[in-house]
Chains A and B, each alone.
Chain A
Amino acid sequence: MGTLEQRVQRLQDITDIRRLKIEYAQQCDDNYNPDGLTVLFTDDAVWEGTGLGRYEGKQAIHGFWTDASGRFTFALHYMVGDAIDIAPSGVEATGHWYLWEPATIDGRAMFVAATYDDVYKKVDGRWLFHRVQAHSHFLAPYESGWVKVPFAELD
């Protein structure tokens, strides 16, 4: 159960991590701002996504976002349904999220549906992404929907 102090700390940590994810969404929707996104990750963080590759370390992650900003010319990241667990150490945590994302990718209207499995670390009192795993359930052209075309062929 923990002391009152520990219980309040846990609630604050959950709120802070939720905020981290929403700020990530905002940076994505600011044309995938590579600098704004990269500062949200630990130095040795890993970002990986179905069909999008695996990027280890801040430099690789920065490069990925730079590339993304040219191809995803519009996106809104609706981050929903967080399930966040703080480890007993109080400096590590995991989170599961849902993403609904209307986007323009390579000039085409798309609906993206994804879930995330994240790992967070608290560094110098601030929560950062240590690992982001994005699982795409569909990346469907608006015209066809996800049954006819679950994953659009990207250029």
Chain B
Amino acid sequence: MASQEERVQLLEDIEDIRRLKIDYAGVCDTGYDGDKLAAMFTEDAIWDGGDTFGVHRGRAAIRDLFNEISSDITFALHYMIGHTIDVDSSGTKATGKWYLWEPMTYKGQAVLGAITYDDEYEKVDGRWYFSRMNVQIHFLTPYDKGWVKQRMVT
């Protein structure tokens, strides 16, 4: 068992990382400000949206991605749920898994998004950042179709 100081530090790190993800959701839901979102990532971070959204490396690419997304997604609420966060023994690296439920308006249509995340985090100068975000899209379905009839919106 670690010292009391280390145990408290672990709980604080988990809370700070949890908050980082919630703050990310909050910026997405108020217009996807590319600068604010990019500032939550390390300089050389990777945002990997797979086949749908592509792989974006570095803060500048991540900023451009979000500035572009906001023209198609005019409304969204990111319900970030069910996190498992593990801080490694160095205390400066961590991993996290999350669920996302996302009702949104995409190109003028009501769309339901079901997504999971595999994240990596790094602590730089006492502050946690995303160093990698892997985004698995399970469905992005038009609300009036449902995910069996049409898994991905066009």
A contact set with B: CB distance below 8 Å:
4, 7-8, 11, 14, 78, 80-83, 96, 98, 100, 111, 113, 115, 137-138, 145-148
Contact = CB atoms under 8 A, between A and B. Distances in A.
A147 B26 contact: no
Interface string B111-131: 000000000000000000000
A7, A11, A83, A98 interface centre (most CB from chain B within 10 Å)? A98
Interface string B12-50: 100100010011011001000000000000000000000
B134 interface: no
A83 B144 contact: no
B23 A83 contact: yes
Contacts of A100: 77, 79, 101, 103
Contact of B12 (A11, A78, A146): A11
Contact of A7 (B8, B23, B103, B109): B8
Contacts of B80: 80-81, 98
Given A145-B110, A147-B108, A113 B103 contact: yes
- Name A's interface SS: strand
B15 A11 contact: yes
26 contacts: A4-B4, A4-B5, A7-B12, A11-B8, A11-B12, A11-B15, A80-B80, A80-B101, A81-B25, A81-B78, A82-B22, A98-B25, A98-B77, A98-B78, A98-B80, A100-B101, A100-B103, A113-B77, A113-B103, A115-B77, A145-B110, A146-B75, A146-B103, A146-B105, A147-B108, A148-B110
A82 B81 CA distance: 10
A82 B18 CA distance: 9
B151 to A, nearest CB: 17
Contacts of B79: 78, 80-81, 98, 100
Interface in B35-90: 75, 77-81
A80 B22 CA distance: 9
A108 to B, nearest CB: 17
A18 to B, nearest CB: 11
A58 B81 CA distance: 32
Contact of B19 (A80, A83, A145): A83
Contacts of A147: 105, 108-110, 143
B11 A145 contact: no
Given A78-B79, A96-B26, A98-B77, A14 B103 contact: no
A111 B77 CA distance: 13
Nearest to B3: A4
A82 B110 CA distance: 25
